[in-house]
């Protein structure tokens, strides 16, 4: 029977891991991810999974152990946050370039310094070029659902790329919510038995080499192959989502459009803040204001065309970024820059502005989101864009 439990985001993902029952989990504790693998380690200790659980001395070692285990033919998972992800930097690229379908939870947390343990998206935004698929979750239910789907996406023969699933540090990771679990058997059947795509390191009858020297004569071709995996990922993500919807009744896409169709102005924002924004949209809609929301789910591969199509009819758009791309155009956020490029190629002539918010866990409250919609309506009235980038909630 399916259970409905009160779980925080980290426990929800730990249950997804239990139901997937991976061969190997190698992890190192870091706030606010720690309770994910801690809860999972209890499942291991209680014999609920057959997973080989490797405690390592750092995140660099955690991802290295994951890479070794995946190359040896295991279904592999891990979890991290912030500085932990940064410490995996080198090995993130190795996992992606060896085409190992590792699945990882990253609980979004600010990067030091000054040192901070609370939510923003600077950790995974920094890793956006590493070759991993990136899926953001609004709440615990989405994180659970995304984590299960991630296994199928990563292992699909047309993709073969690692996937990181994100939810917001503390806001989602430590807040108790209603989470509907599939049954263990449903998850087991959905992910299926793992069949590695290549001969593995432990296959003594088919000896192979992983990670040889790859110079100017082949490296370029291998990078071109990685692009192909990424290019196929979008269709696979949708295919897996359709199948998951049939099973769970919960619908997923490349992004979620909320009251967007007949909207005049809209906000584009990731993760938990999208949940807060929905409440603001409902309030303003009740006052007759035509506002909407677009919440990207898949950030890598970025669904440029689909997103530009969904925004094209709007008269003004605000992107809200929970990180800064220092030194980029106007020091804007990475989500803003992607939305602008999508608009440049696929059309749309409305003004698009950026709001940097919530850095280092700074609260974002409904009144602030309402002020963003007010700003958008002011742009409509005056036809003037005063600022391209606004720091929402910083003290002057």
Partner 1 sequence: MPKGTGWKDIPLGGLILEAGNSVEYKTGGWRAFRPVRDAEKCIHCLFCWIYCPDSSILVQDEKMVGFDLEHCKGCGVCAQVCPVKCITMTPETEFEKEK
Nearest partner of 32 among 7, 11, 53, judged by Cα: 11
d(CA 173, CA 35): 9
Asked if residue 221 binds partner 1 (CB under 8 A), the reply is yes
d(CA 273, CA 278): 9
Stretch that binds partner 1, among 12-20, 209-217, 274-282, 300-308 (CB under 8 A): 209-217
Count residues near partner 1 (CB under 8 A). 24
d(CA 167, CA 90): 23
Query: By C-beta, is 132 or 147 nearer to partner 1?
Result: 132
Q: Which of 93, 98, 194, 346 binds partner 1 (CB under 8 A)?
A: 98
Asked if residue 225 binds partner 1 (CB under 8 A), the reply is yes
Q: Which of 45, 192, 222, 344 binds partner 1 (CB under 8 A)?
A: 222
Query: By C-beta, is 211 or 366 nearer to partner 1?
Result: 211
Stretch that binds partner 1, among 91-99, 106-114, 312-320, 384-392 (CB under 8 A): 91-99
Rounded to the nearest 10 degrees, what angle do helices 219-248 and 184-191 cross at?
150
Q: Tell me the CA distances in angstroms from 138 to 31, 84, 108, 167, 240, one per residue in order.
A: 19, 22, 12, 7, 19
The distance of closest approach from Cβ of residue 93 to partner 1 in the complex, given in angstroms and rounded to an integer, is 12
Footprint of partner 1 on 169-208 (CB under 8 A): 197-199, 206-208
DSSP assignment of 58-73 equals SHHHHHHHHHHHHHTT
d(CA 166, CA 105): 6
Query: By C-beta, is 210 or 391 nearer to partner 1?
Result: 210
Q: Tell me the CA distances in angstroms from 273 to 26, 228, 303, 382, one per residue in order.
A: 30, 32, 20, 28
What angle (nearest 5°) sits at the alpha carbon of residue 9, between those of residues 186 and 283?
A: 105
Footprint of partner 1 on 143-162 (CB under 8 A): 160
What is the torsional sign of CA 360, 366, 371, 377? positive
The distance of closest approach from Cβ of residue 214 to partner 1 in the complex, given in angstroms and rounded to an integer, is 5
Query: By C-beta, is 228 or 374 nearer to partner 1?
Result: 228
The distance of closest approach from Cβ of residue 201 to partner 1 in the complex, given in angstroms and rounded to an integer, is 11
Stretch that binds partner 1, among 36-44, 224-232, 314-322, 336-344 (CB under 8 A): 224-232
Asked if residue 363 binds partner 1 (CB under 8 A), the reply is no
Instruction: Check: CB of residue 13 under 8 Å from CB of residue 173.
Output: no
Q: Which of 90, 158, 214, 374 binds partner 1 (CB under 8 A)?
A: 214
Asked if residue 212 binds partner 1 (CB under 8 A), the reply is yes
Q: What DSSP state is assigned to residue 314?
A: -
Interface with partner 1 (CB under 8 A): 97-100, 160, 197-199, 206-212, 214, 218-222, 224-225, 228
């Amino acid at each position: 029977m399916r259970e409905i439990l009160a779980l925080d985001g980290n426990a929800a993902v730990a249950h997804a891991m239990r139901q997937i029952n991976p061969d190997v989990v190698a992890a190192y504790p870091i706030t606010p991810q720690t309770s994910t693998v801690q809860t999972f380690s209890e499942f291991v200790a209680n014999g609920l999974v057959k997973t080989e659980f490797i405690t390592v001395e750092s995140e660099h070692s955690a991802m290295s152990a994951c890479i070794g285990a995946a190359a040896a033919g295991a279904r592999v998972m891990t979890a991290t946050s912030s500085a932990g992800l940064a410490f995996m930097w080198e090995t993130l690229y190795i996992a992606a370039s060896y085409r190992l379908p590792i699945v990882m939870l990253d609980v979004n947390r600010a990067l030091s310094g000054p040192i901070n343990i609370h939510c923003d998206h600077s950790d995974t935004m920094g890793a956006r070029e590493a070759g991993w698929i990136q899926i953001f979750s609004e709440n615990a239910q989405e994180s659970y659902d995304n984590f299960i789907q991630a296994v199928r996406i990563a292992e699909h023969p047309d993709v073969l790329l690692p996937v990181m699933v994100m939810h917001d540090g503390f806001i989602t990771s430590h807040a108790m919510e209603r989470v509907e679990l599939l049954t263990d058997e449903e998850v087991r059947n959905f992910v299926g038995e793992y069949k590695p795509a290549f001969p593995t390191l432990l296959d003594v009858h088919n000896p192979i080499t992983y990670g040889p020297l790859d110079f100017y004569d082949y490296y370029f071709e291998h990078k071109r192959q990685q692009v192909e995996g990424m290019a196929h990922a979008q269709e696979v993500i949708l295919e897996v989502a359709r199948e998951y919807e049939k099973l769970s009744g919960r619908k997923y896409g490349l992004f979620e459009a909320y009251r967007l169709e007949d909207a005049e102005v809209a906000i584009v924002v990731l993760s938990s803040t999208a949940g807060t924004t929905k409440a603001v949209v409902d309030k303003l809609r009740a006052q007759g204001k035509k506002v909407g929301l677009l919440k990207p789910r898949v950030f890598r591969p970025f669904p440029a065309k689909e997103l530009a199509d969904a925004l094209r009819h709007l008269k003004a758009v605000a992107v809200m970024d929970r990180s800064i791309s220092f030194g980029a155009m106007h020091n804007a956020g990475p989500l803003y820059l992607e939305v602008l490029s999508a608009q440049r190629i696929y059309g749309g002539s409305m003004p698009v502005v950026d709001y940097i918010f919530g850095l280092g866990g700074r609260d974002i409250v409904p009144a602030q989101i309402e002020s963003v919609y007010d700003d958008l309506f002011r742009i409509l009235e005056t036809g003037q864009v005063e600022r391209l980038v606004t720091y929402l909630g910083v003290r002057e």
